[in-house]
Structure 1
Amino acid sequence: MKVKTLMLAYPNYAIIDHWNDGEVQKYIKSEKFDYVVIQQGPSSQSEGRRMLIEDGNKLQKLCEQSNTQLAYFMVWPSQTYYYTFDGVIKNHKDAAEKNGAILCPVGEAWRAYFDNNKEYSLYGPDGFHPSPKGSRLAAEVIVDTLLKE
């Protein structure tokens, strides 16, 4: 199987920032993609929830017009805010459900790993971004989820 990818990722960008700069719309309209996978950073609190649902809905509508499936990359909280995991998971599940999108439950896989192993090797040195091991787990969850679709 041949897979073609395109990544739009900029430091400190939220879903709405991608929408506002207009680049994502051009790509979705001009190219044929099977999936558009979006990731929102902090997402456990009300503002993150709103962004996941409302800003994600803008992309969902565009994806529908292009016969593309929207997928949410469920993230994880930083080690410092590990206690917010329930909110991260709930907000991603709700956003995917409300927008008729696919949910790639990376955050759930991270939490299951911690619960089973009682160690934080999925995190990189900053306690937020993934280590190579964490990146691999995230990629595996995303690929496995999309292959089931």
Structure 2
Amino acid sequence: MRKLLIASLALFGLFGQAAPVISEEVAAAAPNAAFVGDAKVVAIYGNSYTHYNNNLNTRLRDLTRSLLPNNAKGYSYRGLSISSARLGWHLPNLRFQNEQKHWDAVIFQGNSIEQIHQKPEARAYFTESATEMARIAHDAGSSVVYFMTWARKANPEQTEALARAYVEIAEKTGGYVAPVGLAFARAMQEHPEIELYFVDGKHPSLEGTYLAACVFFATLYIQSPVGGDVPIGSDMSKETAAKLQAIAWETVQAFRNTL
């Protein structure tokens, strides 16, 4: 696994390029920098990758209530998903939600592999959408965090390409990156007994969603998810949860230490 992780992180020689001019309060110093600011009110824009298994926002909420002081009183998470959506489909949602309340952080998840699609126009649409959405979010005073998606089960080589794509767009737009895809790859290497995928080999199993939630917890709160509750209403064992928590924390630390 070390070789895979190092190979993936070696791609990030592109770290250190000039960041766009954005308010220091919300701009990321680098895609893998430690998150700065509040993350109490969070919106997650995605598709079925986020709404499977009772939605990523629910699993993240479960973790924060078990790990943050006062059961995370005052913290809230809203999941906004459109089935099969590409990121740009959420532009109207983003504008509308910004009219309703202030968001400390917004999470953007592209359509599985649109960032590395073989059609240039698909990749361009992702870049254009992310750039415009990040501008809108930053203008509203929200930090931007990109959801690095995972490779399809049958195509593990997609991990590195997806990682590069998310790091590049984060650098272009002043966003952070939550390295979920790298955590998937690491978990599959170290704990092949844990099934992270739904039967279609694309969508997440409950374990996959929980791993993603653990990565976001570690990214947003700069704190280990180890010791957090298992997903509420599930039969996931504490042993499995502990393995996924550890993978998430180790991955985020390794990703951050590439600075």
Q: Shared fold by TM > 0.5?
A: yes
> Could you tell me how far 1:35 is from its partner in structure 2?
0.6
1:65-84 equivalences under 5 Å are: 65-84=139-158
Paired residues, what number?
A: 147
Are residues 131 and 7 of structure 1, via their aligned partners in 2, closer, same or farther at CA, if it must alter by over 3 Å?
A: same
SS in 1 for 2:81: coil
Confirm or deny that 1:115 pairs with 2:185.
no
* CA deviation vs aligned residue, 1:58-91 (integer Å, no higher than 9, x gap): 1111111111001101101211222222111110
CA distance in 1 between counterparts of 2:171 and 2:84 reads: 25
- Taking the aligned partners of 1:114 and 1:47, their CA distance within structure 2 comes to 32
- Residue 12 of structure 1 aligns with which residue? 84
Equivalent of 2:104 in 34, 42, 52: 34
Q: 1:109 to 1:18 in 2, by over 3 A?
A: same
Per the alignment, residue 176 of structure 2 pairs with 102
Contact 1:52/1:92 (8 A) holds in 2: no
Q: Give the Cα separation in 1 of the matches to 2:99 and 2:161.
A: 33
Report the Cα offset of residue 103 of structure 1: 0.5
Range with bigger deviation, 115-124 or 24-33:
115-124
Q: 1:8-42 deviations in whole A, cap 9, x for unaligned?
A: 101111111111xx122111233111111010121
- What is the letter of the counterpart of residue 40 of structure 1? G
Structure 1: runs of 5 or more not aligned: none
- 1:84-143 deviations in Å (ceiling 9; x for gaps): 221111101111111110101100111111222345611111111111111100001011
Local SS of the residue matching 2:85: coil
Deviation at 1:47, TM superposition (A): 5.0
- Report if the CA contact (8 A) 2:86-2:126 is conserved: no
Determine the C-alpha separation between the residues in 1 that align with 2:125 and 2:217.
24
TM-score by length of 1: 0.88
Separation (CA, whole Å) in 2 of partners of 1:73 and 1:48: 18
Whether the 8 Å contact between 1:35 and 1:71 is mirrored in structure 2 is: yes
The 3 A distance-change label for structure 1 pair 100 and 32 is: same
Q: 1:148: Cα distance to partner?
A: 2.6
* Matched-pair contact (CA < 8 Å) for 1:76–1:85: yes
Which structure has more RCO (C-alpha within 8 Å, separation ≥ 6)? Answer: 2
Identify if the C-alpha distance between structure 1 residues 104 and 51 changes in structure 2 by more than 3 Å, giving closer, same or farther.
farther
Residue 87 to residue 119, structure 1, CA distance change in 2 (3 Å): farther
DSSP 3-state at the match of 1:6: strand
Bigger Cα Rg: 2
State the Cα RMSD in Å: 1.9
Matched to 2:108, the amino acid is I
Identify the residue that residue 53 of structure 2 maps to in structure 1: none
Distance 1:54 1:110 in 2: 27
Q: TM-score, normalised by structure 2?
A: 0.53
Q: 1:40 touches 1:48 (CA, 8 Å); kept in 2?
A: no
